[in-house]
Chain A
Amino acid sequence: MWTRSGPLRCAAAAATALVLAGGGAGCAIIPTSGSPIPAKEESNSDPLNAPYVRMIASPPKPGAPPRDIVAGFRAAMASVDDPDWEIARKYLTGDALTEWNPESGVTVFDSTKPKEESDATGATMTFRGAVAATIDGDGRYHDLTLAGVERDVAFGLRKVDGEWRIFSAPPGLLLSSADVKRAYGAFDLYYPDVSSRWLVADHVAIRINPSESQVETLVRWLLRGPGGSLRSAVTNVLPAGTRLLRVAPDGDSVILDFSSSMATIGSQHEQLRAVSAQLAWTLKQVIPGQSIQIQVNGEPFPADGRTIKWQSYPEFNPADLTGDQAAYFMRGGVLHRVDHDAGDPVVEGAPGQKTMGFTFPAISGTERQARVAALGEDGAVYVSSMTEDSRWDKWIAGTKGSTLTPPSWDRYGAVWTAENIAGELRVWTAYGAAAQRVLVPADIAEANVEALRVARDGARVAMIVDSGHGPEVRTGPIIRDEGNLRIGELRTLVEAKESQRILDVAWKDGQHVVVLSDSLKGGRVYTAYSVTDGRSEEPKSAAHVSTISAAGDSLLAGGEDGGDGGEVLSWDGKKSEWVTKAKDGASMPVYPLG
């Protein structure tokens, strides 16, 4: 009977419906019929940041004693909240206020309790400690722990309006190791090599900027281009003048919005691919599970809006050795493959046949048919491949009377070696029978070279040289200016010390080397170094070891067992001891490249 008293009925019906709905709330809203499903924990991590801790900088408290003022100033220097150092400057007065320049570099300085001296005019706080490292403007961390530089750092204070203030402070930022650990992130920035075929890592310490995400920070650093140590050794594929406009998470991916100059690489497929790989591999450190979308001024780029994942660029993998590597060793002048189950068979082709007494083999790659370079009995470098009917070809002959260092392959398929001729150091590289001379920096032009190894990414070289003070390990970039090869500025990784012998050096990957050394104090040890920041690991005992080869964390060594010739040892990291892999005259174990 809707026709009569319509609105009333209507209201009554609405009320009934509401009451029913309200009553219905008592029934189960959450479905009671459920089946067990895998309960994946919801990720609580910030899509653009790894978690980090910041020091809170606070301005000086009224009436604080000198030591609190200095501690507060050091805390303000360690704080990343304050990009313009306004709070830190509140601790300063006089000359320090005008001359203190936080941009002039970072000194990492670990000290004990300060010594406090005060007189009528003011107070001086003196810290005594070791300079652990420096960080330059390129973010290059330079470890100085081994150098063991002891220094006094003094802060002069005086009273201004009844409050203590610092009037003389050491230049730049003075941070402790803990501060650096907290306020800096260690990241690998990847740049394509000169051929844009794979990526070369540049290890940098980047100050956390809380006002932007770490993704943003890393991309900005990439846009700045490679630092001094790698400049010209790698290419910068990001178009000049490109700016990052915006970073935003979008579900499982992260959007990078660039300014319009990015669009210039749209038509260059190779470059685009290199840029994508560079971004993907660099950002993998912060957002491992997420893909990347590139946008230009908010428009998807390239236009199909596809996402970038590091898994899509396996050939760019900066770690060129992955997984368990095939290893090789020499026994009786013949190359064997390490394969315990098969009884360490000889390789195919000429290297597996007894021809000449080859020593110091080097393998060009991970594939089965890779090429082998070795030193012949005549001191020249011969190359053969591990295929049937192969033969040894002489690639680098060297000058008569000189000695060539053991050969080393780079990733481009060239063999490298160094040569000592009276008073002159020459470096050779060869893609075939015709060797090419490589320019070396002047400071080692007359040094004595004992070993030369090209890094697995082909961007750096490590050498054992002796300029007269004793052997030292020096590393530097290989600069490839359109075919003209040159070794860039070398940095000393292991300094010469008295009565220290450096026996061998081997690359673990693109950035780390293992150095085998012998000193009176410590005996024969091997030490892993990071080429980029100079940090070293605890030296480990390596008695009886004479040659060494590394691939990632695997380590092989050729040693003398005292009996019939040598043996091949492998380092067991868990037990921290050497394990014998092959005996009976086995020697000179080698992993591909490095």
Chain B
Amino acid sequence: MSIERRAAREPVILEMRSITKEFPGVKALSDVSLTVTAGEIHAICGENGAGKSTLMKVLSGVYPYGTYSGDIVFQGKDVHFKDIRSSEAAGIAIIHQELALIPELSITENIFLGNEPTRWGAIDWIKAKKTALELLARVGLRDDPDTLIKNIGVGKQQLVEIAKALNKSVKVLILDEPTAALNEADSQHLLDLIRGLKGKGISSIMISHKLNEIEQVADSITIIRDGKTIETLDVVNDGVNEDRIIRGMVGRSLESRFPEHTPDIGEVFFEVRDWNVQHPQVPERMVVKNSSLNVRRGEIVGIAGLMGAGRTELAMSIFGRSYGNYLSGRLFKDGVEIELRSVSDAIDHGLAYVSEDRKALGLNLLDDVKRSIVSAKLSKISRGPVVNDEKEYAIAESFRTSLRIKTSSVDAGVNKLSGGNQQKVVLAKWMFTDPDLLILDEPTRGIDVGAKYEIYGIIQKLASQGKGVVLISSELPELLGLADRIYTVFEGAITNCILAAEADPETLMKSMTSARKKAYSK
């Protein structure tokens, strides 16, 4: 209603009507609508996987016309974008989380890449540089346009991206997590710039997990949950604040999607103290800050945090320093300090890590089921250097039965299995190493509901066997349903620790989106 009122005041520049986008077996967007008026900043909020990025990909032509249903009306005309170029030509530019700049080229070269001004067939560099200077002035970047991209920071690169979009006389700018990689000052500058563009009639659509920023700059907010539009809020008229947004984002009831489980929790056996890790490429960036946590036997410990908060970085750096540069921190297992310098050290000390990226980090997709299952501890079925085929087969068969891995045979290639069954193979691979502590990073990502339920059962069974489980998940209901205790992570630091019985989505989301550090004891 408020939007309609505003529409009367300001012309609607972009309207997406009833957008539905399906992937094989998954409905990523269902009947989503979005209305953006000229010269406004429109934020899109939702949990990870709610469908925000998919919606923006539909808008920018990454998913071309015909692969989705619904209409996009831009400046009063029905538009059918067939790729990014055609949406850019119309005046819609998207700036991705991962910047699409070429590090070895200069600022000018990047701005005009694919759009070079020419004179008699040769690039007119004088004109290009002149235009580049004007554009850089508009975005408030005072660097020499001949500077190579790799020599400027991420914040400035973001500005170059915007300059590049401005050069294409953009009407609607889409920013996907624009401040995720930026520090406080750079973020502020960027937000100011977006506000400035608004004054010049350029609308921005902004996806961000940082709710305080949204509250600060957005004029209206559309909330998406599970691929559906939940509501569109007018920031000023509806008196929106962070709590209001969070309620919209998580406001679903917890269904009984979890198997019955009575936790049997023992003593603390694994402890991380004051863990500090640097980014592997950017040393000044800390990806894990002073984090401490502990795990009891038989306990499922959840880690909640938004994408990029440092959950995976924390887990992988503990698992044999497989991510980032280890700075300081100590690990204790059964009261004894241990040092895990490599992944094989970690495996030998009874740790297992199931990666969030099953295909890139979890499996060798060229391999078959049986070879994948035994791959993390071949020594267990080998005599000397020789692998025992028969034992391998027997072990693979037993996991296939106990985890109900659906495959025509254990000789089948893992690439032929569905996501859920691939994940079971990965779980089998780590269960085979007989770990005491399992770190599961998004174990149910991209998996259908039935397989999820089975994986929940496996996780609970592992805990009942007295193993410690660390469960990293973006889905709050999953954490609340499975975990006994939940740590929240924000910007690399642990911000809270709550007993799952006492937690609710709102409290978790608050600790996940702000550094308000509370004293926690558990």
Q: Do A and B bind each other?
A: no
